[in-house]
A and B are shown apart, each in its own frame.
Chain A
Amino acid sequence: MNEEVLTDKLNFFAYVTANITHEIKNCLAIINESNGLMEDMLLMAQQGMFAPEKFQELINQNFFQIKRANDVVGRLNWFSHSIDQPAATIESQSFLENMIALVSSITAPKKIRLVISSPQEPINWKGSLFGLHLSLYLTLQHLTSLCQSGETIKLILNREPSGRIIFTLTCEHTVVLEMVKMETHTLDYIVEEQGGEVQISYPEDNTLAFTLSFPETIE
């Protein structure tokens, strides 16, 4: 593995952990403020002013934030263990849900909408969860850097009749194809490591597509 790929892998870990700690900090900050406001309300209660419904609202807010933080920690745990199994059974719905939650902050600063489409019936295949995650993260990074603020990135997941798993990610863009391809060395390497391949094309006018194709089973 060359140094560039290794750096990108470590950057990915750093990116995910930084985002998760950021979100946990937000949960803690909200719980901190809710508790503080409850304390203020108890002081007011001593002066004969007490609104139980407002107090209950704050308790509910804290329960919600504790659940949120717990979900975030669960995702971090899921992500951390993704590297343990080079060939894990991947289920499309839960993979997409976790993946979106973990990488949504790539598109958020530019207010880019991520529209996901996948078969109604969940699909299962055997692959590298970490490799797949990293592949989609790198693709989203490329597309986000090319998109204008407020645009949409579409992600379509399909299984071909041959059994291959296909992720197609598109955005509106007209940059020269060769320029995009020059910057995808790590992506190519990571996808090939999983027995897959990357194709970059313009299937329609002004639409740039990254097609990531993976085998149904990884050795």
Chain B
Amino acid sequence: MEKMKVLLVDDEKELVSTLAKRLQFRNIEAEYLTNGEKALEMVKNHNFDLLIVDLKMPGLNGIEFMKKVKEFDNKIKFIFLTGHSTQNDAEKCLQEGASDFLLKPVSINVLIEKMHQALKNKG
């Protein structure tokens, strides 16, 4: 079975670097970046299955980032992992095409379950 390939994008470096290691321990190919612009370039040149992104980031925010990615890759899945917890934020992310909206801090098992669920629907 092919390894799941994910990119984590969040301006909190300690968070994404640690989370990436935990995912790697669980046989998931995980990389991370701390800003949307660089992540956009990386997504263009790599074949990620799933992107885990923060909502609020300097420069390109999570939703803008997702819209830009979807312009060239409509199959890639998105999970939002954020400290922002308004119902409006969650609804907007899901309306724009995110598979899930999770709040920090999240359990690794819940996150991985949501990742698998999101990929089940990948065309």
List chain A positions with a Cβ less than 8 A from chain B.
21-26, 28-34, 36-37, 40, 58, 61, 65, 105, 108-111, 149
Give the residues in chain A near B21, CB-CB below 8 Å: 37, 40
In the complex, identify which listed stretch (B11-19, B68-76, B92-100) lies at the interface while the others stay far away: B11-19
Question: Known contacts being A25-B105, A36-B108, is A109 close to B61, with CB within 8 Å?
Answer: yes
Contact, CB under 8 Å: A22 / B14: no
List 15 other contacts, CB 8 Å, given A29-B104, A65-B14, A109-B59. A22-B56, A25-B85, A26-B104, A28-B104, A28-B105, A29-B83, A30-B14, A30-B18, A32-B105, A33-B15, A33-B19, A33-B105, A37-B18, A105-B56, A109-B58
Give the residues in chain A near B18, CB-CB below 8 Å: 30, 33-34, 36-37, 58, 61
Contact, CB under 8 Å: B22 / A29: no
**Interface residue tally on B, bucketed by range:** 20 to 34
Residue pairs across A and B with Cβ atoms less than 8 A apart, 18 shown, are A21-B83, A22-B83, A22-B84, A25-B85, A26-B83, A29-B12, A30-B18, A33-B15, A36-B108, A37-B25, A40-B21, A40-B25, A65-B14, A105-B56, A109-B59, A109-B61, A110-B59, A111-B59
Give the residues in chain B near A21, CB-CB below 8 Å: 83
Shortest distance from the beta carbon of A34 to any chain B beta carbon, whole Å: 6
Give the residues in chain B near A23, CB-CB below 8 Å: 83
Shortest distance from the beta carbon of A62 to any chain B beta carbon, whole Å: 10
Q: Please, which residue of chain B has its CB at the minimum distance from the CB of A41?
A: B25
For window 11-60 of B, CB contacts with A under 8 Å fall at: 12, 14-15, 18-19, 21-22, 25, 56, 58-59
Shortest distance from the beta carbon of B79 to any chain A beta carbon, whole Å: 14
Q: Please, which residue of chain B has its CB at the minimum distance from the CB of A23?
A: B83
Partner of A40, one of B22, B58, B106: B22
Give the residues in chain B near A36, CB-CB below 8 Å: 18, 22, 108
Give the residues in chain B near A40, CB-CB below 8 Å: 21-22, 25
Q: Please, which residue of chain A has its CB at the minimum distance from the CB of B25?
A: A40
Shortest distance from the beta carbon of A98 to any chain B beta carbon, whole Å: 21
Partner of A37, one of B22, B56, B61, B84: B22
A96 to B93, CA, bound (A): 35
Give the residues in chain A near B19, CB-CB below 8 Å: 33
Give the residues in chain A near B12, CB-CB below 8 Å: 26, 29-30
A109 to B58, CA, bound (A): 4
Q: Please, which residue of chain B has its CB at the minimum distance from the CB of A22?
A: B83
Shortest distance from the beta carbon of B38 to any chain A beta carbon, whole Å: 13
Contact, CB under 8 Å: B105 / A108: no
Shortest distance from the beta carbon of B45 to any chain A beta carbon, whole Å: 23
Shortest distance from the beta carbon of A129 to any chain B beta carbon, whole Å: 27
Q: Please, which residue of chain A has its CB at the minimum distance from the CB of B14?
A: A30
A53 to B68, CA, bound (A): 40
For window 94-123 of B, CB contacts with A under 8 Å fall at: 103-106, 108
Contact, CB under 8 Å: A25 / B104: yes
Question: Known contacts being A32-B105, A37-B22, is A26 close to B59, with CB within 8 Å?
Answer: no
